[in-house]
A and B are shown apart, each in its own frame.
Chain A
């Protein structure tokens, strides 16, 4: 079963705008991670936020975590063409890692 569920499924924005993606999950977690995947390639780790953290930044990325709502958001500021990719959240359930189905982000020139 899918623990993490991202929304929207797909998102198209103009270059320079901010992109926000959300992830919801069902059970308690140790941490939540966001990954990026360029078409058909391996996933690349973006950021990890632990269950006792509420917000984390890395460059143009900002991740929030609300454990009471079992949700997280990924904000990409000042989007660029190179940000076009699929984005996945992943959570731990015991020793297993559960990925969501992803958000496809398309940056329009």
Chain B
């Protein structure tokens, strides 16, 4: 089954304790992306990756890191989480369209609800 998986689905942690949220897709997609969703703000892109070893900042990258060492995996790293990073996080992937842009539908993971105390 074609899917995007995220782990963990729920996480409660404390300020400053490094954490990683994993994301994996089995569709051989080039484009992968992380979003956070907050009430009243919709989804905001954190980081995206056009392919292996190619990552770039979205609109809200502060406090986050990513890596793309393999095509299927795109982990989100919070080196020193803070309470303002409490949010619902989504990973998504898609094929790349012509011209290098993501001109195709995105497939979303089920989400990770993170609480930072």
A and B from one complex: yes
Chain A residues with Cβ below 8 Å from B48 are 95-97
B33 contacts the other chain (CB 8 A) = yes
Chain A residues with Cβ below 8 Å from B41 are 101
- Contacts A2-B42, A88-B42, A101-B42; is A43 near B103 (CB within 8 Å)? no
Asked if B101 and A42 make an inter-chain contact with CB atoms under 8 angstroms apart, the answer reads no
B73 contacts the other chain (CB 8 A) = no
Would you give the shortest CB distance from A4 to chain B, in whole angstroms? Answer: 8
Interface size bracket, A side: 20 to 34
A61 contacts the other chain (CB 8 A) = no
Asked if B104 and A95 make an inter-chain contact with CB atoms under 8 angstroms apart, the answer reads no
B74 contacts the other chain (CB 8 A) = no
Q: Please tell me which stretch of A11-19, A44-52, A63-71 contacts chain B, meaning at least 4 of its Cβ atoms lie within 8 angstroms of it.
A: A44-52
Q: Is the contact region of chain A dominated by helix, strand, or loop, or is it mixed?
A: strand
A30 contacts the other chain (CB 8 A) = yes
Interface size on B, residues (CB 8 A): 32
CA distance A43 to B105 in the complex (A): 11
Would you give the shortest CB distance from A34 to chain B, in whole angstroms? Answer: 10
B56 contacts the other chain (CB 8 A) = yes
What is the chain A residue whose CB lies nearest that of B107? A45
Asked if A45 and B35 make an inter-chain contact with CB atoms under 8 angstroms apart, the answer reads no
Among A6-45, those with CB < 8 Å from B are: 30-31, 33, 35, 40-45
Chain A residues with Cβ below 8 Å from B33 are 97
What is the chain A residue whose CB lies nearest that of B42? A101
Asked if A42 and B111 make an inter-chain contact with CB atoms under 8 angstroms apart, the answer reads yes
Among A83-103, those with CB < 8 Å from B are: 88, 90, 92, 94-102
- B contacts, CB < 8 Å to A: 4, 33, 35, 40-45, 48, 50, 56, 58-59, 88, 90, 92, 97, 99-111, 113
Q: Contacts A43-B92, A43-B106, A88-B42 known; list 6 others, CB within 8 Å.
A: A41-B111, A43-B90, A43-B108, A90-B106, A97-B106, A100-B42
The 5 closest A-B pairs by CB, nearest first: A42-B108, A45-B105, A101-B42, A99-B43, A43-B108
